Amino acid sequence: MIITVKKAKYLGDYRLHLVFNTGESGDVDLRDLIFKYEAAETLRDIENFQAFTLDEWATLTWHCGFDVSPETLYERATGKQIAWLDVAN
């Protein structure tokens, strides 16, 4: 199953509440990513962080070009790992 984000709501600081196409939901804190990657530097300003969108691929994106995949968000929000098909075998 392909995981998509159906809804994202800003909670405060670098936290978001997410609803997935699986019916599951959860909260994520993205502070560690925002301060880890240079591409996210402008998002350290909370006003810029709040200006996220969901693109046509259900990826959380910002105007600076930084994004976080739905799979990463799902794993962070639910604590579940996505079982990927091993196409090499």
Span 13-71, pLDDT tens digits:
999 999 999 999 999 999 999 999 999 999 999 999 999 999 988 899 999 999 999 99
Within-domain flag for 83: no
Query: How many whole angstroms separate alpha carbon 9 and alpha carbon 48?
Result: 14
Counting Cβ atoms within 10 Å, is residue 14 exposed (0-12), middle (13-18) or buried (19+)? buried
Within-domain flag for 13: yes
**Domain residue limits at 59:** 5-78
For the domain that residue 70 is a member of, what is the CATH number?
3.30.2020.10
**Is the distance from CB of 40 to CB of 34 less than 8 angstroms?**
yes
- Which residues, other chains included, contact 73 with Cβ-Cβ below 8 Å and sequence gap of 6+? 5, 18, 28, 60
Residue 77 corresponds to which amino acid?
A
Predicted confidence (pLDDT) at residue 88 exceeds the cutoff of 50: no
pLDDT of residue 84: 65
